[in-house]
Structure 1
Amino acid sequence: MARNVTDFHGILLFRRDYAERDFLIKFLTQEFGKKMFLVRGAKKRGFKMVADILPFTTGSYVGDIADDGLSYIRTARETNQFQNISTDIFKNAYATYIMSLVDQAFPDGQPLPTWYHRVQRALTLIDDGVNASIITNIMEIQLMPAFGVAPQLQGCAICGRNDLPFDYSESYGGLLCQQHWQIDPRRLHLAQRTIYYLRQFSVLDLDKLHTIDVKPQTEHAMRQLMNEIYDSQIGVHPKSKRFLDQMQSWSARLTMPPQASPDDSTD
């Protein structure tokens, strides 16, 4: 098995126990794509790289990179942890889901320099307090082609027009303009505001995004749309998504206004 001792830049996707004292860690690397690393002795007291292999860590490392199979980390050069993601359960859930999708979307060992930068930028925005739900929507939309689903989102899938109201059709693989709504009675009947963000998010450069303000109703509609597409067309269900759904359900119940009692005024 060919090995190469080299520097690499990595975003820690996940880590898991391996044997009594070791960890298996998967990185999304800038140079080699996704790679699994065995870190020997990582659970031993006094292990010098403890802070460098924590969840939600990114940085530069030196490793023995294998063409196939397990690679090994020799040392860490400079690393940083996304502190707010690490300490906020909601940010944590969204970030974990994004990294789970990336892990499932691409094979190991395929260089992904563009996606390395995109994931790093998405995590930075979430860590900085930009709406984590919307950042997740953007990543979900832009990851769809990697799963083999590339809906037409810039014009009508039938005629190409882009100057009429749209709706989304799963049967026809993307948007239908108003002239062709009648051909798919099962189109999703989305609000035009939802369509607007769907189209914008599909081509949005995260480097140019610094803040975003979306109404709660639109945020909820985007979540429902992504759930529908991923459930019916992509069929990817990371464990982290189930936890995220639970979190969103808890949040909705906590923020739901109390029901009026019989004595409350409705005027």
Structure 2
Amino acid sequence: MKTKLFTFIVLFAVGFLFSSAKPAKEEFKVIKVIGEILYQNSGKKMATGDVFATGTKLNFVTGNSRAAVISSAKGRFVLAPPSKKKTTNLVPAVNSISSRSGAIVNALDFAKHFEGDYLILNRVAVPVSPQKFPQNQDNFFFVSYTYEDEKIMKQLPVGDGKLILHRDHIFMIDGQPITPFNTKINLYYRNAETKENQSLASFYAVFPNQQLLKKEIQVILDEYQSFSKEKQYQQIKGYLNEFYGKPFDANLKSWLDW
């Protein structure tokens, strides 16, 4: 009887210890911070490359402050201010989106390709049908945007079956370069036969600070170094789409030198 009682007490004690044990904390690495997030204990600002554990007390200075974070074990998350409905402030990140393949053949294709925020890393060359959209001295693509309250019109370089959007070319005014900035761009095609300027797309072009972007991408690569290149690429592409704008595969892979 005493043996059974002793065994029961031991099992109860072990069960109690396991049930009351705190769950193991998980660590995440910070990719990017938007707004301002402070560590409550130190008052230090959260920054790219930081490593923090779940349960760390944080102060979201503004309601829209958030951060992209990653864990090789858990994946990518968005660190956001806690709400009344959610006690956790780690929200699963948006997965990567698929890109359209093949040449653009009509105005609807242009609108779909450029819809939303569109990321441009130095130079984008989008395949277009040379039969539907021939390019020469008289037939060409051009864009318009606003700079210091002035409407800027820029004829794009003639491409061989490609629509070319080059950051340095777009932001050259009267032979002088200006600092690239994120802006709404309207895309047109000049048809010499009909003498019409066909409106093709209106989108928000994103030209990121590439030094900062390289640091952010390196965080993802470091955390996913044991994964395949395809998984690394999907994490990078998904992150860019969520925090910057939609990347074009050929442009992104060229920029990554992959």
Coarse TM-score class (shorter-chain normalised): under 0.3
Query: Which of the two has greater helix per residue?
Result: 1
More strand by share: 2
RCO comparison, higher one (Cα < 8 Å, 6+): 2
TM-score (norm 1): 0.23
